[in-house]
Chain A
Amino acid sequence: EVQLLESGGGLVQPGGSLRLSCAASGFTFSSYAMSWVRQAPGKGLEWVSSIRDSGGSTYYADSVRGRFTISRDNSKNTLFLQMDSLRAEDAAVYYCAKTLVGATFKWDYWGQGTLVTVSS
């Protein structure tokens, strides 16, 4: 059974940093691209970032490029999102998502999300 478990969310002040993690199990992690998608409270979905299976290629939304960094450790089946220079508008539930085989932007499994709150 595919499982994705996010952690690392919490309350941070504007300008601060957080590192999200996503522990994956139930599939060959190193064979799939992975992504982060966020959802502000009461709002719609917003794609944040994706990383290819090997980690060699990464993609970012304009809204986070230069502030967020996606990475993965295939030896530990873990996906990361380093978030720096956080802004109020980054507050959201952050979902880790597994892609369909061979895809980058189509997700067949999602975690339950971790909440990031940005406030002074």
Chain B
Amino acid sequence: QSALTQPASVSGSPGQSITISCTGTSSDVGGYNYVSWYQQHPGKAPKLMIYDVNNRPSGVSNRFSGSKSGNTASLTISGLQAEDEADYYCSSYTISSTPLVFGTGTKVTVL
């Protein structure tokens, strides 16, 4: 099972909105509404930001939102802040023998 495809980097200025894509296939992203997004700051453990495509855990800012269209899921960060600078990973359930696959990761830079 190959990793889901994410852009290596995305950048934006404070206050702007950015969108990170996560592209898979009909066997993973397109076939199930089980896409999650994680934020990871350098040297820290990942943090769950979105689950089941568009659900936010309690305590996560509503500036973070998720969506999906076909085989591509997206994470949008609105009102970009300096603290949002981190690596972001998507994940999806997959029908393959390895049931969970992560994306390649995207480094978000706040200009």
Binding site for B on A (CB under 8 A): 37, 44-47, 50, 59-63, 95, 100, 103, 105-108, 110-113
Contact = CB atoms under 8 A, between A and B. Distances in A.
Given A45-B38, A110-B45, A105 B89 contact: no
Contacts, number: 58
A106 B1 contact: no
Interface of B: 1, 3, 34, 36, 38, 40, 44-48, 51-52, 57, 89, 91, 93, 97-105
A105 B98 CA distance: 11
B53 to A, nearest CB: 11
9 contacts: A45-B89, A45-B105, A46-B102, A47-B101, A50-B100, A105-B100, A106-B51, A107-B46, A108-B48
